[in-house]
Amino acid sequence: MNLLLLYGGLILFFFHLVLRQALPSGGFLGSYWFMGIALLIGGFGLRGFIFGKRSDWVSKCVENSAHYLYLSPVQIAALSLAVLFSITCTLAAGFSGRMIHPFVSLVSWAAAIGLVVFAGWERKPVPLLTFKVLATTLFLLFITAFLLRGLNLTVYPSVLSGDEGAMGLSSVFFLSGLTDNIFITGWYSFPAMYYFVQSFGIALLGQTTIGLRITAALVGSVTVAVLFLVMRSMFNARSALIAALLLAFSSFHIHFSRLGLNNIWDGLSWLLTLGSLWWAWNHERRAAYVAAGLFLGLSQYFYVSARGLFAAVPLWLLIVSILYPNRLRRSISGIFIMGISMLVMFLPLAWFYVCNPVEFQAPLQRVTILGGWVADEMARTGQGMAEILIAQFTGSLSGLTVAPFQNAWFDSGYPLLRPFSGLLFYLGAGLLLFRWKDNRLSLIVVWLTVIIVTGALSTNPPAPQRYVAAAPLCYMVIGYGLDGAIRFVEQSIQRWRRLIAFMSIVVVLIIGFEEAGFYFYDYSPRAGFGGYPTRVAQKLADHLQEYDDSWEVFFVGWPRMGYRSILSTVYLAPHISATDINNPWGDPTNPVPDGDKLLFVFLPQRQADLDLCMQQYPGGELISVHGLQEMLFYMYRLQPAQ
């Protein structure tokens, strides 16, 4: 412990000595305080190293805390230093797009994470053969899932949405050096960490649709493998394999894994956090509590639905603490370490939210029914508050198996689970109810309840983008139900056990192939995905690849849309600098072309302006651009004779 305090204090002192010179006026006072604290910590460690253990009030405080929390003094020291390093990370990051001191911030964050891992580390052997079999299974599941998620990313879906384009541009800002701060928010008040992670795909594969979407495909594929791992630990290997295979082939999960959006992180975040927590509680593993805390903190850097974990985790712990009070006493130290782990991981972003509450509230304010929405709906429909709230909760719950999704993000005409999968879900739910005292059931109920309540308190349920965290859960229930049905058949006809086991996997694969076939051969060819402006933006971006930056581009589409209304065009064609012409043709306030390579883009609604343009600039080439079932826009091109 003494060496840990000595070196930890010295490093903290050095970091704040460096940071003091970089902080803005007034901010360096915090570093002076930290330098003093660091010297005290280092001095305490040095004294203990030289003179050995001494009985004083500091030592007694550490020992009493360690005794009460069932930890060792060195663990208390490591956790305390972790919090201080996390605060240092926050100070060095700042709240602007560029960090105050990137090196100090990132190294401090890494040190904080390393210290909590050290505090919760357990050295327990893992059988090599079991590990090899498990690793092989996880790898094969990942590859299977990735083949369905990572290929033909420009075709399924064929249109890059405006939100994807906006997120892609935010990722490009990291690559161009305009921003480097992962502890703040970016476009649409979403955490900037997501854009930083997404930038790796763009750096590797270019500013393309594939580069933008590849990280989502990887995350969706990892989710399938993690589902197997969690399901295997909670139930058994066969139910885990069934659940993972069906999630791998799920049309809903495939779709969101093929979009360059942050929604897909939800399933992985909930699985890792709640799976680690369940393992920690049931096996009393301190390392698993650390993992649960780190995953809980890290989840807040991606999609905002992960905030529901702050309700799910304490709610489930409350339930199991009431049911198993003796285990609660043995788990106090693990729960405490989980809280510290979450704190050091989440603190830099959390402090940004504290200082910028509007950024924290913005994603919620856009969709919440809390506030004036209910009153407006009562006035519009003439219904009472109770009727409206019942409709909200009914709509949110029915999105799992009954009510079809209708909005543009996934207008498949089906709920999350298509009919046969929905029946299997009810089978699994029925079997689970017989285990009403089992903490696995309570975890599933808490998980599902938080998602349903979140959806009900949001506008327009069921909205598919808010069900991504529910997908792994639903297939966990299905896997459990199918495994139970297979076991019943095996026990009834024991001499055919192996054949029944083999045929059950064949049936699961048939269900999966049909589900994936629906996505690729039924839904995708007919999906509009994003509406008319989004399709215009995609097709225009495709055509602009043929032009270099010497062309002067003018977009005539107002009031239906402007060139930058859907940012996928800007993302996919960064070399083009286009100008909007919003007023009628000939208006003196319109921009005047002055180049010799001119490209005019007209929406069909501006046909009259196109005719006037062709009269003013005769001799050009008119190109009509069509979609699958509609006229999208005209391109009128003028260039000098070769």
Strands of 621-626's sheet in order across? 578-580, 552-556, 598-602, 631-638, 621-626
**Residue 136 CB coordination number (10 Å):** 10
Please write the tens of the pLDDT for every residue from 158-196. 999 999 999 999 999 999 999 999 999 999 999 999 999
Q: Are 239 and 231 in contact (CB under 8 A)?
A: yes
Query: What would the mean pLDDT of 540-565 be, rounded to a whole number?
Result: 95
pTM of the model: 0.93
Q: Which segment of 115-119, 364-368, 403-407 scores lowest on mean pLDDT?
A: 403-407
**Residue 18: pLDDT over 90:** no
Q: What is the DSSP string of 217-275?
A: HHHHHHHHHHHHHHHHHHS-HHHHHHHHHHHHH-HHHHHHHTSSSSTTHHHHHHHHHHH
- Give 182-237 pLDDT, tens digit per residue: 999 999 999 999 999 999 999 999 999 999 999 999 999 999 999 999 999 999 99
Q: How far apart are the first and last CA of the chain?
A: 79
**280 contacts: CB under 8 Å, gap ≥ 6:** 286, 288, 289, 291, 292, 331, 334, 338
Quote the tokens at residue 414.
């089906």
Residue with tokens 């004294």: 47
Residue 599 phi, psi dihedral angles, 5° rounding: -130, 115
* pLDDT tens profile 237-270: 999 999 999 999 999 999 999 999 999 999 999 9
Angle, helices 419-433 vs 470-492, to 10°: value is 70
587-633 tens-digit pLDDT: 999 998 888 899 999 999 999 999 999 999 999 999 999 988 889 99
Give, to the nearest 10 degrees, the angle between helix 286-299 and helix 309-323.
150
Mean pLDDT for the stretch of residues 448-459: 95
Cβ–Cβ under 8 Å, residues 246 and 479: yes
Which DSSP state fits 523?
A: I
Alpha helices in 306-418 (DSSP H): 309-323, 325-355, 357-365, 373-381, 385-398
The pLDDT tens digits for 571-599 are 999 999 999 999 999 999 999 888 889 99
pLDDT at site 92: 93
The amino acid at 66: A
Mean pLDDT of 371-380: 87
Closest CA to 401 of 481, 478, 311, 482: 478
The fraction of the chain above a pLDDT of 90, given in percent, is 74
Of 397, 402, 417, 629, which Cα lies nearest the Cα of 518?
417
| Whole-number Å distance between alpha carbons of 142 and 223 | 8
Tokens of 555: 């977009």
Phi, psi of 593 (to 5 degrees): -65, 140
